[in-house]
Amino acid sequence: MMNLLKPIRSAPFAISLIALLTACASVPENGNPSSAAAPADRIETQKRPLASTKPFAEDSLYQILVADVALTRGQFKTALDNYLVQARKTRDADIIRLTNSIATHQGDAVAILESAQLWVEVEPKQAAAHRAALQAYALHKRPFEALEQASWLYRNENDVEAFLAVTAIDEDNKQALIPRLIEAYRAIPLEPDQQATAELAVAILFRELDDLDSAVATSQHFLALSPDNQRGLLLLAQLLHQQDRVNEASTLLADALQRQPDDRNLRLQYARFLTLLDRPQAILQFELLREQNADDQQINYLLGLLYLNQGNEEQAIALFQQASRDPSIKADAQYHLATIAERNGDLTTALEHYQQVKFGRNYLGAASRAAILLAQGYGIDQARAYLQGLRRQQPNQASELIQLESNLLVSNNQSDQAIKLLSSGLQANPTDANLLYARSMVAELQNNFALAEQDLRALLAQDADNPTALNALGYTMILHTDRSEEAYRLIKRAYLLNPGDPAIIDSMGWVLFVMGRAEEALPFLQKAMAILPDPEIAAHLGEVLWFLGNRQAALQTWQQGLARSPSHPTIKNTMQRLGADPSNSQIINPDSETDSATLKQPSPTEPNQ
């Protein structure tokens, strides 16, 4: 079940770089400073040359005429250069506004800032001038100057969004900036009815600083001043959730909905919290949201997930089909329709749905399943052709799609073809980490340790601290060479970099066992098995237990692995080699002594990944 909770972030940062470069620029019409702004990407439609409307000095008039002509011809850089000079010289509001509009259109950060500063100086009472300055200071990552402009907009225009937008701190500098910005917010002189909003901003900043206790306390203070403020309620609820206080968050929103039953955002967040606490109740809340707007495909999709989780496939299918009408949700909805159809044995329908997943988080999963179904129904050549077609459509996913095709070849006992495919991909992109790792794994399957080592060392040349590559190289080294000391150093380094990875923990235990340090190996393998009861880990742990004389525990461990994978070859081979019957867990020859040197050799397992 996917996590339906989404973080309640601060207000969209209206002064972000992307918004800035695509924003509407203020181009006045008929000389009216308060008129609506013209879109920046339509500056070329400006038909009223400034030179013909005002009595400029002769030298300025000429330069403005040059700029006007350049603008009508779409020569924006020439127009901007000339208008900016005249904006400085004439300090004419129309020229300044048009200069800022062209600068924004062109993404010229220096001209954006200078023209915005001029605009505020010339028209200090115009909200558009302060918004332009707010955007400019944000672009230049100058939050304190941006806050001055945001404060003006809040005091004079009651623009809460602008006031809170400055809380979106640049990630690289937030630890240094936030404490000072908190002080700056609290020092702003505001009317009593506006002062509470400064506390809301401070609460958002505390959260950005990861000081959740202070963020909660400040949010509660804000809500004491503004009890039914939606933004404050959602912020506090999310903060409580971040502190694992989901019941309190849910109760907070439930109480708020008693007072504001028609607030859709509060109900949506309440429904999301209920997915963690009471899914039948969550369904009821989502159904209420759906009653308000049956065409809200996001609600239909989330409700479909809940019905699917509760085993109501019929209802889930209907909702996913509706959600597919929204292009932004279609891929995820089609993926779930495909998995339902495949689970029910309708492979033709499943394939059709998988092929509709054109993007998103399930794109590669859908491509993989579609290829597998095509291979089963029409042959591997058809499956490969499908994946190759996807590569042409999505060249940015070429590496991942090559890996899928390689996996398909390996699963069909065509590892030679897989190596050729991966090598072809590496010819086009020799440093592709995913392809290097994939080829190393196929090479190991072919007992080609030289190629596997070559690729893994190429990976480590790019990233010496890659724990996955370190572990893979160390583990394959155990399997194919007697370089156990070198393997130990590689695996130990991987372990120090990522001590919680069960595959690396397993490798650490196994290399110790291979080196004759069985008692040291045991706790590593037990820890790995506790984290991930994988059959491969069970094979290793069982062998070490057997070697140490705890044969009953060894048998139980192997049976645990076989319960997950009844035909797992490593466990069966290990039990056969050591004299244990995999069918009934009875010792074939409990009195026989197995050569300790044999026990210290690793079984022919695949590398941990």
The pLDDT value given to residue 189: 93
Token readout for 295 is 């065409």
Coil vs helix vs strand at 324: coil
Token readout for 395 is 């060249």
pTM above 0.75, yes or no: no
How much is the mean pLDDT over the chain? 87
Q: Residue 218 to residues 33, 43, 438, 512: CA-CA distances in angstroms? A: 40, 45, 50, 53
Give φ, ψ of 24 to 5 degrees: -80, 135
- Mean pLDDT for the stretch of residues 425-440: 96
CA distance 542 to 558: 6
The pLDDT value given to residue 129: 97
What number of other Cβ atoms are within 10 A of residue 532's Cβ? 14
- Mean pLDDT for the stretch of residues 300-304: 97
CATH 1.25.40.10 residue spans of the chain: 1-168, 431-499
pLDDT tops 80 at residue 265: yes
Q: Taking the CA of residue 508 as centre, how many other CA atoms within 13 Å lie in the half-sphere pointing to its CB?
A: 25
Q: What's the pLDDT tens digit per position in 441-483?
A: 999 999 999 999 999 999 999 999 999 999 999 999 999 999 9
Q: What's the pLDDT tens digit per position in 536-570?
A: 999 999 999 999 999 999 999 999 999 999 989 99
- Mean pLDDT for the stretch of residues 348-366: 96
Q: 555 with 590: CB under 8 angstroms? A: no
CA distance 546 to 580: 10
The pLDDT value given to residue 582: 53
DSSP one-letter string for 513-566: HHTT-HHHHHHHHHHHHHH---HHHHHHHHHHHHHTT-HHHHHHHHHHHHHH-T
CATH topology of domain 1-168: 1.25.40
Token readout for 306 is 């809940």
CA distance 293 to 360: 25
The pLDDT value given to residue 607: 37
CA distance 483 to 490: 11
Residues whose CB falls within 8 Å of the CB of residue 89, separated by 6 or more in sequence, listed in order:
60
Ranges 160-174, 216-230, 432-446, 481-495: which has the least confidence: 160-174
CA distance 84 to 115: 7
The number of angstroms, rounded, from the C-alpha of 570 to the middle of its chain's C-alpha atoms is 36
Q: Which long-range contacts (CB under 8 A, 24 or more apart) does 257-261 make?
A: 259/228, 260/228, 260/230
- Mean pLDDT for the stretch of residues 58-84: 86
pLDDT tops 50 at residue 71: yes
Q: 406 with 421: CB under 8 angstroms? A: yes
Pick the CATH number of 501-609 from 3.40.1350, 2.60.40, 1.25.40, 1.20.120: 1.25.40
CA distance 414 to 417: 5
Q: What's the pLDDT tens digit per position in 21-53?
A: 233 333 333 333 333 333 444 454 344 455 445
pLDDT tops 50 at residue 366: yes
The pLDDT value given to residue 596: 35
Token readout for 377 is 């129904």
pLDDT tops 50 at residue 304: yes
CA distance 279 to 275: 5
Closest by CA position to 411, among listed 448, 351, 369: 369
Token readout for 292 is 């308000």
pLDDT band for position 221 (50/70/90)?
Answer: very high
Q: 460 with 469: CB under 8 angstroms? A: yes
For the chain, the residue count is 609
38-39 and 24-25: which strand pairing?
antiparallel
Q: 257 with 236: CB under 8 angstroms? A: no
- Mean pLDDT for the stretch of residues 258-274: 96
CATH topology of domain 431-499: 1.25.40
Q: What's the pLDDT tens digit per position in 571-602?
A: 999 999 999 865 554 444 433 433 333 333 33
Q: What's the pLDDT tens digit per position in 150-196?
A: 999 999 999 999 999 999 877 677 888 999 999 999 999 999 889 99
Tokens 């069985």 found at: 518
Tokens 């596997």 found at: 452
- Mean pLDDT for the stretch of residues 514-523: 97
pLDDT band for position 372 (50/70/90)?
Answer: very high
Token readout for 261 is 């039953």
